[in-house]
Every structure is written in structure tokens, then in C-alpha cells.
Amino acid sequence: MDPQLAFVTFTLAVFLQGCMSAAVPQVKSAGPGFFRLMLGDFEITALSDGSVEIDPQVLMPEASPVALRRARQHAFIPLPVTVSVNAFLINTNTSLVLIDTGSGALVGESKIVQNLRAAGYRPEDVDHVFLTHLHGDHMGGVKAAGSPGMIFPNAIIRLSQAEADYWLNATNAANSSVIMKDNFAAAQDILAPYFAVDRVKPFNITEGELLPGFRAVTRMGHTPGHTQYYVESGGRTIVVWGDITHFEWAQLPDPELTVAFDYNEPEAAKARSELLEMVVEKRHLVAAAHAPFPGIGNLRRATPGFDWIPVRYDSEPTRNTTDDYVAVTGTTVSPGAIGATTVKSNGSALGASLVISIFTSLGVLMA
Ligand SMILES: [Zn+2]
């Protein structure tokens, strides 16, 4: 056969085979659940323990069904609502601290450990586990299903004394509602192996530093010793806030909205309102256990209440950024203002620099 004809025939055959090839099965699983950013000198890694499907009306039975549905639809969220379960790993260069641990063995295999490994660490590397509170979806990941049970064998478990006193008390357990009885039993079971080797160290402060750059603030409300951890490095702060919100799309517009298992609903609502005001005022980053993974973002005043602004993805989290937004308050942009001061006054120069920067980026990618 003529070589040219053979080539054309071969190419055509390959092309047609490509067109007719069998469909590839869909993969249908999420990727590794970790997300990284720098906070000053600290490396923050959000770890996913997966997500759960919840009907929000069940957790907020007193919420107006109509208003709740409108808030959900306004945020483009289908039913049932998926709620993330997040934990946060902080490498300070001298310590590795894990704040909350997901549900772990309480609901099956721990995705926190799987994702911690995917993020480049091992459970035995963790020096401190700070728990925001002793609900199953925050403490469950510290213990494996079998003996000896410690997932983090070199870690010291820190939590507020008020939280430990409440959940580890037999009288409180006996007097608790049926729904909470299991949580009392789980708290004792999960912490037992760490108590056995003297690795549970409750802190007896309502506010103070636990490690350089780590401050705990405890306030009764969601639980008796619900704690937020303020992590600060390089002049920036991230507030790891536990269960200040479960449904950010509903409780940020309406911070008064409580959940049925809040220990003290009025105090939980008050704590939420005060903390939201503070993080907006200070422009702190927030790490939320139940906001959509990675659960890190900022808050902005809105009408009503507040908006959640998710952190931007950065494929090179160690690059230097100018956080000039931190000290800015109340900035608004009126329609046309951005165009009037940039594109309209210097359109061709801006266009040219954009084209150059896009091609420079492509060059880097293709190199
Ligand atoms: Zn929770």
C-alpha cells in the first residue's frame, strides 16, 4: 500500500476508534479533603471528615418553615442540606496542633486521618489536640475503634475544664435526655485511653494563651464549655469557632436562630451574635467546623445579618500576599466606580498589562 494512503487509513481508523470507544465509568468520589493556607508563619491545613445530609428543620424545629426554605433557596442549597465536618491542623514550626477531630469511629472510618496523611502528616506527628467541645463530631476522631484506641498517641488533649466537668460527670449523664445519653457515654469512652496515660489536660481558664499564638476563649452556650481558639501569627488571626454556626446560610442572616441541642439556647445565640460582631469588626479569618469545606472564610455585614465570604483558592499557598484588607472597614463600591477609575481612564494600558500577565502565566504553566 502507498505509504501516504496507509498513514491516512491508519489515522482515520484511530480517530474512528476514538469516536466509538466505550464510555469510561464515572468515578463518583471526591478528591482528598485537605486545603492549605499560610497565616503569618503558621501553616493551616483544613481537613475534611466528610459531610452529612441534614434536614435543617429537624435541627431547628422552632424556625419558620417558610423563612427557612426561603433562606435555603436564596443560598442555592438543595434538600437535604449537606453539612461539612471540618478540623484544622496548624503547624507552627515547633508544634503540630489539631483543632477538633471529626466523628471518627463513632460513624465509621475517620476521614480526618486519611486526609491528614494525604496532606503530608502522620497521626503520631500531632503534639496537641484542642477540642472546641465534647460533641461526637468534634471529639470522635481521637479514638480508634479497637484497642489501645489512641489515634494520636503522642498528643495531649486540651479542652475547657467546664466541658470536661459536664460530660464526664455520672450524675449529669443520669439526668440527661435520652438523645444526649449516648454522647455522655461516648465522651467517657473516647477520652479513656488518653486519661489512662495522663494525656488529658483540661484548662481552667475562660480566656488565655495555651501555646504561643493560641488563645482559648470559653463561653457557655452551645455546650457548658464551648471554646473558640484564636490562632495568631504575623499580625493575622484566625478564629477556630467550633459550632458557632451549623447552617451558615441561615444563622449568619439571623444569628438568633438556635439548634435544638444547644445546651442553653439564649446564651448560644448571644455568644454567636457577639462573636460575629467581633470577627467583622477585627476582620479576622474564621475556621468553621460546619461551613462548606474548607470552612475558612471572612464575614461581611449584610442585610440582614452577615455574609460568608469563602477563602480564595491558591495553588501556591506559601506565596507572599498583601493582606491590605485587614485594616479596612466599611468599604463599598458604587456601580461604575471601578471602571471609572481604572479601565475608562487607562483602558489600553490595563488591557495590555492583562494580556502580558496572562501570557506570562501560560508560559509558566507550559514550562
Ligand atoms: Zn458540631
**How far apart are the CA of 106 and the centre of ligand 1, in A?**
13
**How far apart are the CA of 42 and the centre of ligand 1, in A?**
25
| pLDDT tens per residue, range 265-311 | 999 999 999 999 999 999 999 999 999 999 999 999 999 999 999 99
| pLDDT tens per residue, range 231-242 | 999 999 999 999
Contact 151, 141 (CB under 8 A): yes
**How far apart are the CA of 103 and the centre of ligand 1, in A?**
9
pLDDT, residue 341, reads 56
**How far apart are the CA of 255 and the centre of ligand 1, in A?**
16
| pLDDT tens per residue, range 69-91 | 999 999 999 999 999 999 999 99
Provide the grid cell at 247: 447552617
pLDDT bucket at 6, cuts 50 / 70 / 90: low
Instruction: Please give the class, per CATH, of domain 34-310.
Output: alpha beta
Provide the grid cell at 135: 460533641
Its pTM surpasses 0.85: yes
**How far apart are the CA of 11 and the centre of ligand 1, in A?**
58
**How far apart are the CA of 274 and the centre of ligand 1, in A?**
19
**How far apart are the CA of 210 and the centre of ligand 1, in A?**
22
| pLDDT tens per residue, range 309-320 | 999 999 998 877
* Coil, strand or helix at 219: coil
Highest mean pLDDT of the ranges 144-148, 223-227, 358-362:
223-227
**How far apart are the CA of 142 and the centre of ligand 1, in A?**
15
Does the pLDDT value for residue 2 go beyond 60?
Answer: yes
Provide the grid cell at 241: 469557632
Longest dimension (CA), the chain: 93
* Coil, strand or helix at 42: strand
Integer Cα distance of 233 and 175 in angstroms: 43
pLDDT, residue 111, reads 93
Identify which of 107, 123, 16 has the alpha carbon closest to the alpha carbon of residue 53: 107
Cα 140 from chain centroid?
Answer: 16
What one-character-per-residue DSSP string does 239-295 give?
EE-TTS-S-HHHHTT-TT---TT-SSHHHHHHHHHHHHHHHHHHT-EEE-SSSSTT-
Integer Cα distance of 42 and 282 in angstroms: 19
335-340-343-348 Cα dihedral, nearest 10 degrees: 150
* Coil, strand or helix at 109: coil
| pLDDT tens per residue, range 117-152 | 999 999 999 999 999 999 999 999 999 877 678 999
**How far apart are the CA of 244 and the centre of ligand 1, in A?**
9
82 strand-pairing partners: 53
**How far apart are the CA of 65 and the centre of ligand 1, in A?**
22
Which residue ranges make up each domain of the chain? 34-310
